[in-house]
Amino acid sequence: MGASAIATASTHEPPAPSTTAATATGTSTASEAIPVSDDDTADVITVETDGSGDFSSVQEAVDAAPAGATVRIGPGVYRGPVVVAASDLTLVGATGDPRDVVITDDRASGLPKPGGGTWGTSGSASVVISGDDVHSRDLTFENSFLREEHPEVTSTQAVAVRTTGDRLVFDNVRFLGHQDTLYANSPNTETTSRQYYRNCYVEGDVDFVFGRGTAVFHGCEIRSLDRGSDSDNGYVTAPSTPPEQEFGFLFTESCFTSDAPPESVYLGRPWVPSSDLDARPQALIRDSWMGRHFKEQGWIEMSSGHDWRQFQLREFANKGPGALNTPDRPQMSAEEAAGHTAEAYLAGSDGWNPVREPARPVCTARGR
């Protein structure tokens, strides 16, 4: 998504600001895990880098796992792309600390791929989850591509995770990247894919939460990386909600942090793909803490002819130095906000409700 620019990953951790939001750390082992199975006899497949588990490759373990199985991944860095096409599967880091288990690759949209051509945005993903009812917990998903190491590449979109499955849960998971980190998508414009992110950490600089999925970020830290500019350090969201889909992105009880200079980051920009010119992008940020890196003009168009004001890009009851109420930061009314809850976004026609209260404080700048 969007144009590239040189970015620098921040390693500084500002003090946690005061906030009433219940939120995430991604480094604690004390979180209340979301139940994934009532079957105590479910298969457990182990992965260890030293070969002491059932497999040493995450992909091999996923391919071998039967429905209902848990893939328990030992500490280490697992390099290479992973595709989770099977449904009803749990991926869990063995230590409970997501920093200990990293699944990573370093492809970017503009890098050449075997057989000719380039990877493209979708093909750049380190991890693809297309199966339904896949739960991930206590893991890090990363795209380690760095622009400064590839000055010859102009298309620098580099996805850490691309999702198209329904009823997906991510609990205490880190998503690391720069441009297009998390592609919260669906298989097509006619199919709604619901995704619940609890106690997670997502970082990036350009459009780093994007796609047409119905995604709820609950008690998460959303961290904008400093690209080295005094005035333009990117965009957080780029929703592309289909016109018949009721909901897009919801960020609730979360925290938006950055080391970037004040007023240098946009909340987002609507993505109207050439393949879906009828898209009606939606994003709501509510009951969250917002750092001073956000601009007074919260939203901006991505391409000409698609003015952000015609879409549902709004805020409600946020706090912090970046929670501004200006003509370019539309606020949702309390009456309407009553119907925009995590439960409402995820219910669908089957009444799915994975929602649990976040268990830990946020705004701890848990980055690289």
Residue 366 counted as domain residue: no
- C-alpha of 72 from chain center: 22
Number of domains in the chain: 1
Number of alpha carbons in the 13 Å side-chain half-sphere of residue 192: 17
Catalytic residue chosen out of the listed positions 180, 205, 226, 287: 180
User: What is the structure's pLDDT at 298?
Assistant: 96
**Mean pLDDT in residue range 190-210:** 97
Structural domain range at position 176:
44-347
The tokens of 279 are what?
């898209």
> Is-catalytic flag, 133?
no
Res 305 pLDDT > 50: yes
Q: What is the DSSP string of 47-89?
A: E-TTS-SSBS-HHHHHHHPPTT-EEEE-SEEEES-EEE-SSSE
Q: Which helix (H) or strand (E) holds 127?
A: strand 127-129
> Which residue's entry shows tokens 């995450």?
58
Q: Would 163 be classed as within a structural domain? A: yes
Backbone Cα Rg of the chain: 19
> pLDDT band at residue 364, thresholds of 50, 70 and 90?
low
* Better pLDDT: 119 or 361: 119
Claim: this prediction has a pTM higher than 0.85: yes
* Single-letter code of the amino acid located at 169: V
Residues in a beta bridge with 365:
none
pLDDT at 34 over 80: no
Identify whether 332 is part of a domain.
yes
Position 217 in a domain = yes
Instruction: Tell me the DSSP string of 287-339.
Output: S-EE-TTB-SS-B--SSTT--GGGSEEEEES-BSTT----TTS-B--HHHHTT
Short-list 233, 368, 356, CA closest to 291: 233
Contacts of 75 (CB under 8 A, 6+ apart): 49, 93, 94, 95, 100, 101
**pLDDT at 337 exceeding the cut of 80:** yes
Tell me which of 205, 207, 226, 259 is the catalytic residue.
207
Place of tokens 């940020």: 285
Q: Are 258 and 273 in contact (CB under 8 A)?
A: no
Who has greater pLDDT, 350 or 34? 350
Residue 221 sits in a domain whose CATH number is 2.160.20.10
Indicate whether 99 belongs to any domain.
yes
19 found inside a domain: no
Note whether residue 1 is domain-resident.
no
Distances (CA, A) of 313 to 248, 318, 319: 10, 14, 17
Q: Is residue 21 part of a domain?
A: no
CA distance to 19, 98, 152, 173, 174, per residue, from 202 (Å): 19, 12, 27, 9, 6
Among this protein's residues, is 106 annotated catalytic?
Answer: no
Report pLDDT digits (tens) over 263-297. Answer: 999 999 999 999 999 999 999 999 999 999 999 99
Q: Please give the Cα distance from 282 to 313 (Å, whole number).
A: 5
Phi first, then psi, for residue 47 (nearest 5°) are: -125, 130
- Give the phi and the psi of residue 127 in degrees, each rounded to 5: -135, 135
